[in-house]
A = this chain, B = another copy of it.
């Protein structure tokens, strides 16, 4: 029996993904992504926490290969927005992705380049298919870490620029203890919000 290092055991814990590369995104890595810049800067000054981390085994970035891993997105908020991933399009737009929720309560925000939006629940036992061409961002609306498995064509690549520049059209915000999906444009237009744009 040849040794083949192809198996990982989760038991709900990505720390048990051996051979996986860990990429951590702290609050300071997410400057420009949240509406409330002041709240983000306060968080960075406080202890600049890890907002999310990705555990990804090494797979060749070749057509036919499947890149996969686990994301852990911690609970918290920046102003009224919940902790979230940067979000991205795939550099090769014609590549899809599949998500599988393992733990926690989240949302997956999808957006197409022609302006359509869609928000799905991302919870234990849900499978979400991200069609080719849709940007995707996960959001933790719960009180525990949001943990999910993902798989996509290894040649897909990541394009963060479009999202970094324009953001998503939809925000997921706390409204009196409930997660609400709101239009970014109208959210920014109301001066009574407790966010302060700089």
Binding site for B on A (CB under 8 A): 1-4, 6-12, 17, 57, 59, 62-66, 68, 92, 94-98, 100, 110, 116-121, 125-132, 149, 151-154, 156, 181
Q: Are A8 and B126 in contact, with the CB atoms below 8 A?
A: yes
Q: Are A149 and B4 in contact, with the CB atoms below 8 A?
A: no
Q: Are A131 and B1 in contact, with the CB atoms below 8 A?
A: no
Q: In the complex, what distance in Å separates the CA atom of A110 from the CA atom of B94?
A: 30
What residues of B have a CB within 8 angstroms of the CB of A17 in the complex?
Answer: 127
What residues of B have a CB within 8 angstroms of the CB of A63 in the complex?
Answer: 63, 94, 153
Q: In the complex, what distance in Å separates the CA atom of A131 from the CA atom of B126?
A: 25
14 contacts between A and B (CB under 8 A): A3-B118, A4-B118, A4-B131, A6-B110, A6-B118, A7-B121, A7-B129, A10-B127, A59-B96, A63-B153, A64-B156, A65-B95, A65-B96, A66-B97
Q: In the complex, what distance in Å separates the CA atom of A6 from the CA atom of B92?
A: 20
A-B pairs, top 7 by smallest CB distance, nearest first, are A64-B95, A64-B94, A151-B151, A10-B125, A6-B129, A4-B118, A66-B96
Q: Are B7 and A117 in contact, with the CB atoms below 8 A?
A: no
